[in-house]
Amino acid sequence: MFWREQKAAIASFHPLHQALIEHRAFSATYPAAGWHQLITSLHRHAGLVTRGKWALPARTLDVLVPLLHEVCSDLGPDGTLAVLADLRGADAPGKELPSRDLPVRPPIRSVTETWTVDPWLRMRAELRDGSVLEIVVADRRRTRKIAKRNPRGKLKSKRKIKLVQTIKVRRKLPKGDAGRVPSTAPPRWIQVFVREGERRCVLAGAKLDRMPGTPQEQLDRILTVATEPFRWTSVEER
């Protein structure tokens, strides 16, 4: 049967590819060659698997794969990239925080607030220049259930949902690199902090009140924040 052929194809895929199909998530550390093997396997998916239950999760081919390509291009011969990708979605178990009741005044009877936090991507890369790059992307959803009595005395309820996304990037500069202040300011929606220590760290972050409309917009947002710390090194490399 045709489904048996698809199952046989899945059995030939990279182990992390199989994990994405079965669990919608994986965690692993590889050098660049190992990630390229995964990417090659993922690109085989569409031509061999058509059954919906075995489809790749959203953000795999159009966000995760381009990011793997980009970061792996900066790994040195001994550098590794650690990735935790959780593409189960915000409604997966364990991502909803305990609800709380907010103070109210009449005619509002009650407001219950619930946060869902979905840190769906974490990366840590040892780059060829000796620096360490870390990327964390999380979606946050605030849901408020509001019960209100209208002027006619009837109790009504409604739900308000607010979505935000946070992108945080930290680059630990190479040893001996004192860094510099770039000649132009970062985009207004990106905040940058410099942390002193044995090795200087540059932290770039963004809190976005509008979720990306397309996968390309999502990818562009992450790459824009991720490249900002490179402008704060002694010699611009990008």
The 10s digit of each residue's pLDDT in 92-117 is 999 999 999 999 888 888 999 999 99
Cis peptide before 107 (omega within 30 of 0): yes
Pair type for strands 191-195 and 100-102: unpaired
- The pLDDT of residue 80 is 96
Distances (CA, A) of 147 to 100, 152, 180: 14, 14, 53
pTM: 0.89
Instruction: Report d(CA 232, CA 73) in Å as an integer.
Output: 20
Confidence of residue 235 (pLDDT cuts 50, 70, 90): low
- The pLDDT of residue 101 is 92
Contacts of 15 (CB under 8 A, 6+ apart): none
Shortest CA distance to 167 belongs to which of 214, 108, 210, 107?
A: 210
Report which listed range, 2-16, 26-40, 165-179, 180-194, is most confident. 26-40
Unique residue bearing structure tokens 């993922």: 42
- Cβ distance 170 to 203 under 8 Å? yes
Residue 145 reports pLDDT greater than 80: yes
Query: How far from chain centre, in Å, is Cα 142?
Result: 18
SS (H, E, C) 164-209: EEEEEEEEECCCCCCCCCCCCCCCCCCEEEEECCCCCEEEEEEEEC
Q: Per-domain residue ranges for the chain?
A: 2-232
Confidence of residue 12 (pLDDT cuts 50, 70, 90): very high
- In tens, the pLDDT along 185-218 reads 999 999 999 988 778 899 999 999 888 889 999 9
Shortest CA distance to 141 belongs to which of 209, 229, 213?
A: 209
Instruction: Report d(CA 109, CA 103) in Å as an integer.
Output: 10
Question: Which DSSP string corresponds to 22-70?
Answer: HHSEEEEEE-HHHHHHHHHHHHTHHHH---GGGPPPTTIIIIIHHHHHH
Share of the chain above pLDDT 70, in %: 97
Average pLDDT over residues 148-163: 86
Distances (CA, A) of 48 to 10, 58, 81, 233: 8, 18, 28, 45
